[in-house]
Amino acid sequence: MKAKNIAIILAAGKSRRWGGNVPKQFDIIDGRKMYACSVETFNKHPQIDEVVIVVPDGYQDEVSRENNWCKVTKIVSGGDERFNSSMNVLQALGNEKDDTIVLFHDAARPYVSSEIIDRVLEMMKNYNAVTAAIPATDTIAQMNDDKNNIKDIPDRQFILQVQTPQGFKISTIREAYNSAKKDGNFTATDDCGVVLKYLNHEKIGIAQGDEKNFKYTFGVPNKLSDNLDVSAR
C-alpha cells in the first residue's frame, strides 16, 4: 500500500520583522491571504493526500471558517518558535504510520510550485530527509563572534540557499525531535537542521528549488522587490 503524503503548512510565525498589523502569512498578496497561496498549491497536487495548517493561537477559528480545501484535515496551534510548531504538529499526527511522508512548508513562501513538490517527493524514494535548495549566487561571509569582522568566506560552490518544502519519513523527523528534546540548549531554524544535528547518520537529499520560491521577510507586500528575503532567493 502506498505511503501517505501529508503537507504541513507552517503559518504560525509572529513576523517580528514584517511591520504589518497582522502576521505576514495573513496579509493579502495577489488578492489572497499569503498562507492560502501555498495551501492551495498543495491541496491541488495529485500526490498530496492531506494538508495540515499550523497557525498562531487565536487564528484557528478564522482559518477554519476560510477552509474550503478538500484535503485540509487539521488546523493545529503553533508554538513560540518554529521548532515548537513542528513538534506540535508531529504530536497531532501521532497515529500516522512510520512510512508516512510529511512535507514541511513555510507559509511565507507563497509561490511554491507543483514541480518543486514533485522533485522533493521523487527524492524521498531514496532518502528519509530531503530539502529543496538552490545554489548560492552571492558570496557568503562568516562573521567572527563579535560580529564586527569577517572570519571566513566559504567556497560558494559548496553553499546552498535552503528552501521549503522539506520532506521526511515521519519516523525520521520524530526521532530527530525526540533526541532534540533531551538537549537543554536545543534551538533550530529549520527541520532539516534538526535531522542534521541529532541524526547525523541520515543523509539529507537535495531537490532542486527555484528562485521564484522566495520567502517574504520584511515589510508589507506592496512591491514585490521591496520585500524579498534575498537569503532565500
> Considering only CA atoms, which of 161, 160, 170 is closest in space to residue 86?
170
pLDDT at 66 over 80: yes
Band (80; pLDDT cuts 50, 70, 90): confident
Query: For residue range 106-164, what is the model confidence (pLDDT) as tens digits?
Result: 999 999 999 999 999 999 999 999 999 999 988 989 999 888 899 999 988 899 999 99
Instruction: State how far Cα 81 lies from the chain centre.
Output: 13
Whole-number pLDDT of residue 223:
41
Query: For residue range 5-64, what is the model confidence (pLDDT) as tens digits?
Result: 999 999 997 655 444 567 889 999 889 999 999 999 999 999 999 999 999 988 999 999
The Cα 85–Cα 2 span in angstroms is: 27
Query: Are 50 and 7 contacting, i.e. CB atoms less than 8 angstroms apart?
Result: yes
Whole-number pLDDT of residue 19:
46
Whole-number pLDDT of residue 14:
66
Query: If DSSP codes are grouped into helix, strand and coil, which group holds residue 197?
Result: helix
CA angle 174, 177, 181 (to 5 degrees): 140
The whole-model pTM stands at 0.89
**How many other CB atoms are found less than 10 A from the CB of residue 153?**
10
Which of the pair, 21 or 170, is modelled with greater confidence? Answer: 170
The domains of the chain are located at: 5-232
> Considering only CA atoms, which of 16, 77, 78, 89 is closest in space to residue 50?
89
Which of the pair, 222 or 58, is modelled with greater confidence? Answer: 58
Band (81; pLDDT cuts 50, 70, 90): confident
H helix or E strand, kind and range, residue 122: helix 114-123
Whole-number pLDDT of residue 116:
98
Band (229; pLDDT cuts 50, 70, 90): very low
pLDDT at 103 over 90: yes
CATH 3.90.550.10: does it fit domain 5-232?
A: yes
Kindly state the average pLDDT of the residues 74-81.
92
Whole-number pLDDT of residue 226:
43
Instruction: State how far Cα 177 lies from the chain centre.
Output: 15
Kindly state the average pLDDT of the residues 159-170.
97
The Cα 47–Cα 117 span in angstroms is: 9
**Beta strand ranges found along the chain (DSSP E):** 5-10, 28-29, 32-33, 50-55, 72-77, 101-106, 129-135, 142-143, 150-152, 160-169, 204-208
